[in-house]
Amino acid sequence: MNHLIPWFVLKDVPGIGNHLFKRLIDHFKTPDRVLDARGPELSMIPGISERLIRSIHTRSVSNEIKREIETIHKKGYSIVTLNDPDYPALLWQIPDPPPFLYVHGKLTDSVMNIAVVGSRNATAYGIEITQNLCRSLVFHGMTIVSGLARGIDTAAHYGALAGKGRTVAVLGSGLGHIYPPENAGLFHRIAENGAVISEFPLDAEPDAHHFPQRNRIISGMSLGTVVMEATKNSGSLITAKIAAEQNREVFAVPGSIHSHKSTGTHTLIKQGAKLVENAMDILEEFSHLGAGTIHPAHTTGVANLSGPEETVDLSEAERSVLKAMGAYPVHIDTLIRQTSLDSGTLSGILLQLELSGFIRQTPGKYFCRAGRLL
């Protein structure tokens, strides 16, 4: 891992942020050439002052850098730099990409990534449609990018895993601090067929200032960002704003007009975000890139946002009942009218679907889809 030392040394120079680091690499190609460059060569780069030149020339390999690289090796993690072929191609295009990423798992340069974000305090509706959407997207070959946070982020990762697809978690802490701690198991599951990444040192703890930086990576490595459920003050709206500034697509899933959890997504739709009712609403925006093809790991059908895969051996009557049902509870009398089934037959079908995990019953003889995903 000695080839990584110049990357760490240059990043450690006070005054060299992500913008300037990228500018230096664009000009000199490698960090060791930057460190070896003479003053007149460095002064040609916009943003390089005499003081910064002195800092570059006097910088050395600290013990902290040596320990960091040694720990990365011991933990089985890897470092992917701007010059590596596996550095996310879309992330490389933003003005301030991280010089390198800490990686647990396997990162690729694929551009077929969709960011999925939303409320940490998500509703059951938000969790369900997020899982269904992400399962459908990975079925069509997309990778789901999110932030490992509680609520929508967690549902997005689980939906991708349930669909046997790839997902990438971007942390607002170092890999040595899994946050939230209850997602430790998910952290390792993601790495088995995807990646957990961070731009922060291994021992960096979660910090409020880290999350906006993390959000630019989530949107920056993705073709578009989908906001699933958000209030007007939700941090996920910041991610959507960053995505728009990065010239990426912004999508939003509508919710109930009576829920404050939907005020943020409805605002985005009013401002021009594309309304999403199913995965194809997203995939059609990227059909020129090959989005919408069936992922080779899958041999069965795919669900929309409203419910689980209808790929098991369901009868025609069972399918008609499922189609008449959404994420919001529907009274049994409404189902009788919509399906034209008698009450006895319908009750038997509802019981079987509930036992199979497709639906759930709520008080007052109301039923809604449960999303048999995990």
Q: Where are the domains of the chain?
A: 2-70, 113-289, 316-369
Q: How many CB atoms lie within 10 A of CB 92?
A: 14
Whether omega before 180 lies within 30 degrees of 0, making that bond cis, reads yes
Mean pLDDT, residues 37-66 taken together: 93
- 6 vs 34: CA distance, rounded Å: 9
Q: Are strands 167-170 and 143-146 parallel, antiparallel or unpaired?
A: parallel
| Percent of the chain at pLDDT exceeding 70 | 91
| Residue type present at position 161 | L
pLDDT of 168 strictly over 80: yes
Domain spanning 113-289 has what CATH number? 3.40.50.450
Q: Distance (Å, rounded) from C-alpha 214 to C-alpha 8? A: 19
Classify domain 2-70 by CATH number.
1.10.150
Give the mean model confidence (pLDDT) for residues 115-127: 92
pLDDT score, position 60? 86
Tokens of 264: 């943020």
| Integer Cα distance of 215 and 220 in angstroms | 8
In 271-324, which ranges are continuous DSSP H helix? 279-283, 316-323
d(CA 349, CA 343): 10
Tens-digit pLDDT profile for residues 246-304? 999 999 999 888 888 899 999 999 999 999 999 999 999 988 777 655 454 443 333 44
Fold of 316-369: Arc Repressor Mutant, subunit A (1.10.10)
Q: What is the pLDDT of residue 248?
A: 96
Give how far Cα 343 sits from Cα of 240, 315, 321, 334, 356, Å.
46, 17, 12, 11, 20
- Answer yes or no: is pLDDT of 179 > 80: yes
Better-predicted residue by pLDDT, 308 or 374: 308
Helix (H) or strand (E) holding 358: none
* Mean pLDDT, the chain, whole residue set: 89
Least confident piece of the model among 33-37, 108-112, 204-208, 326-330: 326-330
- Of the candidate ranges 58-72, 97-111, 296-310, the one whose mean pLDDT is the lowest: 296-310
- Label residue 280 exposed, middle or buried (CB < 10 Å: 0-12, 13-18, 19+): middle
Q: Are 187 and 196 in contact (CB under 8 A)?
A: yes
| CA–CA gap between residue 267 and residue 241 (Å, rounded) | 12
